[in-house]
Amino acid sequence: MVSIKKNIVFALLLLPIVVFYGFSVAYSTNIPWFDDIENIPFFLSRLLDAPTWYDRAEAFLRPNNEHRVLSARLIVYLNYLLTNEINFRALTLVGNLTVLGIFSLLGRVYLKNGGQLLHLIPAAFFIFNLQFYSMTFMTIMSLQYQLIICEVFLSLYLLIKPSRFSFGVAILVAILGTFSMGNGLMAWPTGALLLLYLGHWSRLLTWVIVGVLAIVGYFSGYAFVQGNDEGFLYFFQHPFKVIIGFFAFVGGILDWFPRITFEKRMLLPLFGGLFIVGFFLFYTLGIVNISARWRGLFPSRLTKFYLRIPYFQTIEPRWGAFWVGCFIYLLINSALVVFFRTRFDYQLVLWTTYKIYPGTLMALTVLLILQILAPTWQKVGIALFTGAALLSWGSSYWHFIPQVQQDRKQRLAFAFNQQRNDVGLGAEKNSAFAKFIVTTLDSAEQKGFYKFPSPLLDPQEKDIEKMMRNRTLQLPTTTVSINNQANTVIISNETVEYNNGKEVGLFITLTSPRHFHLFSSAPNQAFDNPQKGFQVYCPKGVLYNETYQIGVWTVQKTGNHLLKTEQSVTIN
């Protein structure tokens, strides 16, 4: 019976992990997007062309926007050394494996300190979640945010170990994290607080000196391009709004209803954030009060209160410091995101890219609460937290599977457009960035380490342009509605039927005398098949100023279909 229960626990623990990685592998593409271009093929081209060791080092450390991305570029280079090419699907998988690294490290420490395997189940459902899907399916993001969290947690884990070797490795990992993303800078103040708490004075001095040197090195030749000073001005103008945004960000893994109005949508995350921060303060006070060195700062009543709780009677201060350090690191970075980014768009507090922070924060909170609770209350806690975790996990797949399908086909269509029109992978027509992408991808193909997969969407794609231009070809016709807005053209229809899925769907073709574009449709009903009708967004930033004839291409397992219209749209 015990063996059966243990197998059930293992199965439940593995479920979100297997689903997460199965889904991420199935829906990822070997296509770069936006910041991927500079950090991966452009970096590798510069590295291969570098004439000196100094130039090679500069290629690894050159900032991208406001981040250095050393770890990501080391992984890219290793991918090249092993395979003689770069593969964005493989690189994305490596980045996503760091989520498993985060979970494994937290699970190891938790079980090592008397935690139960059963308690890891809700934590797994909170961490292996599709709410941060935009990070999961963009290569450079998967090699930044979650990878840096993993590196910093590893550094803190090694930092509290007694051996000098572990301390030295902790410093090296922290330096690597520092030069791998700006968020890695927060490893140094977090680690300093841990060493201060533990009273490791000589190590603290070494840590601070190395940290100062690493931070100075990080900012050497650094370009402040995003006007972060304006974040201070925005905060002083809207302090209450920013503070509320911080709590909503911290509890963002409870964003179960992304389709409702933002004001209502953020209420549940707001309460979740208050819950997490409240527990963090409670837990930190407890860890401080079990230290003979620091408990004198607080009333004796408070110390006696915490020492009556079995958990705080048995936890070693160094392991308590580790948990507090993980909280501090995640909360500092959450505050920085809200402080510096909400001035662009307040709804960024619930932006999918950042959901790895609230997911990990909630996992930490749940694990420690379950361990602190008395045994009779643990059963209630595991039921409540597992229910909340399942809701978070299930709602993320329910809401975002259609979006991931749509994004995958749209990105493949954009790659198709890049091949034929020299624009499509995040740049606007005739821009310097568009020219940079063309030059970079041409260099990658000439050097033999990357070219677009073929076919991108379907074997018929090689003939689709010729067929749409053939005036003698007899094709059935349909009618669409055209909404020509300032920055996009929305083409819709209520009658065309087709099946929609990962490999099948509907595309709008736009044919001009000099250009041919494809855009993927958004289904009218997320999970229905067959679909009836469609809506397609065609951004004007990638369309040249011409008149385009509108066509429809449905890619289906039972056979593809082409439809012509007698309609056109003019881009000015």
The neighbour count for residue 333, using CB atoms within 10 Å, is 23
Return the pLDDT at 496. Answer: 94
What burial letters (b/e) apply to 420-441, b meaning 16+ CB within 10 Å? ebbbbbbbebeeeebeebeebb
What token pair was written down for 158? 């090694």
Question: Collapsing DSSP states into helix, strand and coil, what is residue 549?
Answer: strand
CA–chain centroid gap for 388, Å, is 22
Question: Collapsing DSSP states into helix, strand and coil, what is residue 572?
Answer: coil
Q: CB within 8 A of 452, min separation 6: which ones? A: 30, 31, 415, 418, 419
Please list the ranges in the chain whose pLDDT falls under 50: none
Distance CA 502, CA 137 (A): 14
Distance CA 480, CA 529 (A): 20
> Please, are residues 535 and 492 in contact by the beta-carbon 8 Å criterion?
yes
The neighbour count for residue 51, using CB atoms within 10 Å, is 7
Return the pLDDT at 528. Answer: 86
Return the pLDDT at 67. Answer: 84
Distance CA 376, CA 373 (A): 8
Bond preceding residue 32 cis, omega within 30 of 0: no
Return the pLDDT at 110. Answer: 98
Distance CA 172, CA 61 (A): 16
> In the chain, which residues fall in CATH 2.60.40.10?
458-572
Q: Which fold has domain 458-572?
A: Immunoglobulin-like (2.60.40)
For residue 510, what are the β-bridge partners?
A: 517, 550
**CA geometry: angle 127, 255, 186, nearest 5 deg:** 55
3-class SS shares of the chain: helix, strand, coil, % to 5: 65, 10, 25
Where does residue 295 rank: exposed (0-12), middle (13-18), buried (19+ CB within 10 A)? Answer: middle
Return the pLDDT at 1. Answer: 55
Dihedral of the alpha carbons of 442, 443, 448, 450, in degrees to the nearest 10: -60
